[in-house]
Chain A
């Protein structure tokens, strides 16, 4: 009886890990996009790039924080800390 339960748990953990990896990748992409706009602004400032950075930059970073926060929360719950 214990083998199927263990296999089920392992599969569940693998699915959770895959979900975490996807969220982390999205967070990385979001941060990278904000950084690329920031780097463009740092190299050559134009009014349009500055506006794009001010509008998109903080939003993309906030999205990355949120995604990372979800991953951390999920892990804390799976470890029964929360």
Chain B
């Protein structure tokens, strides 16, 4: 009975994790929808981690009562060498995925104004226009602020580590500015070659944009109109 209750509690936990879906926009789910890969990674990761912690507690008691036996050795193998590797793999995959979300970027106080502008339906900043029209379906900050390809992802993650460090230590200049000039390739990765884009830009202009001589933001900026929030608002008064 105890095992059954434990299993029920465990599945309730994982169901809770799976239920943490993206904001409900009223769009119906496809037929047979059972959640995203990331939600499954999260749910399975939680189950493995809880099972692993229970196993560790059992081994701890076994070793204390009976010393190192063949049973405790087998359990140690599973609970220290096998399951934790799987948990670390799943947690890393989940963390990597979640660190790309707008919520993750907006977690730092300094970015809250940018995220508020992004989500403001009345804002006409470039970021807000992309967000409210769902030109980018998810992870909007990350999509526009990371380069394409594997090394773009690696570079973005490394810079993200730096952002966490600067935010934690408070060591950053105010108001914050983008670290590098914004590259046109990030815009052209989606827009370049699109019929709409080619129709609205002259050939010479396209060439200048492609070579980076002109910036997309020269005409389509500002990218953000950060709203003043909390301390920023008080400081500016």
Contact = CB atoms under 8 A, between A and B. Distances in A.
Contact of A42 (B72, B85, B94, B104): B94
A4 interface: no
Contact of B163 (A24, A38, A47): A47
Contacts of B164: 47-48, 51
Interface residues of B, number: 40
B87 A38 contact: yes
B60 interface: yes
Contact of B56 (A28, A38, A45): A28
Contacts of A39: 46, 49-50, 53, 91
Interface of B: 17, 42, 45-46, 49-50, 52-53, 56, 59-60, 63-64, 67-68, 72, 76, 79-81, 84-85, 87-88, 90-92, 94-95, 98-99, 104, 107-108, 160-161, 163-164, 167-168
A28 B60 contact: yes
Q: Could you tell me the dominant secondary structure of chain B's interface residues?
A: helix
A31 B88 CA distance: 11
A54 interface: yes
Nearest to A45: B98
Interface residues of A, number: 32
A36 B64 CA distance: 22
Contacts of B76: 24, 27, 68
Contacts of B168: 48
Contacts, number: 103
**4 closest Cβ pairs, A-B complex:** A45-B98, A38-B91, A50-B95, A39-B49
A30 to B, nearest CB: 9
Contact of B84 (A35, A48, A53, A54): A35
Given A31-B84, A53-B95, A47 B107 contact: yes
11 contacts: A21-B68, A24-B59, A24-B76, A28-B63, A34-B84, A39-B46, A45-B99, A46-B107, A50-B98, A61-B88, A64-B84
A57 B93 CA distance: 13
B60 A61 contact: no
A52 to B, nearest CB: 10
Contact of B88 (A27, A36, A38, A47): A38
Interface in A1-33: 17, 20-21, 24-25, 27-28, 31-32
Contact of B80 (A31, A41, A43, A57): A31
Interface centre among B42, B67, B84, B107 (most CB of A within 10 A): B84
B81 A68 contact: yes
A70 B223 CA distance: 56
Contacts of A41: 91, 94-95
A28 B88 contact: no
B67 A38 contact: no
A33 to B, nearest CB: 10
Given A35-B84, A64-B84, A42 B45 contact: yes
